[in-house]
Structure 1
Amino acid sequence: MSYQRYPWTPALAAACLLCSLAAGAQTASSGTSTTEREIQSLFKALQQSDCEFARNGQWYSASEASAHLQRKYSYLQKRDLAPTAEAFIARAASQSSMSGKPYLVRCPGQPEVRSQQWFEAQLAQARTAQ
């Protein structure tokens, strides 16, 4: 096959190369974007809930709890300590890093539960909805 007979061949080859590079970049980052998407869905579920969250014996609104957990998540991200949503739940959303006491959640009409259980249920719902 000569380039004189098919002058568009180099352009087609370049387009194919660009498409494959873009697809590879998307695939390489899909694990991170999936984790980020899942964690953001946890924050969204928290912010939209009517639940209260106990931290070290004091109850906080969902928005206050979300702000606190966002700060903990930011800390974990800087140190690559939240590679999965499960790691985020275990390292940031389950217990106080100061006292070691578990966080609690109480929602209207439901029994009080540990936040780890609440977040794991939210994660399972988010994954089912995908």
Structure 2
Amino acid sequence: PLDGSSNIDCLVSIGTIFGIYRKQSTDEPSEKDALQPGRNLVAAGYALYGSATMLVLATETGVNCFMLDPLRLLYECNPMAFVMEKAGGLATTGKEAVLDIVPTDIHQRAPVILGSPDDVKEFLEIYKKHAAK
């Protein structure tokens, strides 16, 4: 369902909340498969659609947030990368450090992955594995 749909006309964020359960029966999927206690959830999360599009996903191993945002290099990526690096984290495009990019346009866009060194290094390992294919 689309939660907050009555707020669409006033530009307030709306979203979708979801839960994922493991199918319990071997029959065709039915309502019975959904009638389980919350402790049986495999994953859950929500997506927000508004001035930014964001997905929050919780699984047994933790919670991750993903944001759809074509971040701009000069006035979004670089300042956030600077803050992140000064805080001890990393900021990358997947191919190079954000702060090492030489801009070619005032509105240039760049992918950006920001976070703790461990999280960013984990992302880079996955990125490189899939980029090689």
Relative to the length of structure 1, the TM-score reads: 0.26
Structure ranking higher in helix proportion: 1
Determine which structure has more spread, i.e. the larger CA radius of gyration: 1
Work out which structure has the larger RCO, using CA pairs closer than 8 Å and 6 or more positions apart in sequence.
1
Relative to the length of structure 2, the TM-score reads: 0.25
Structure ranking higher in strand proportion: 2
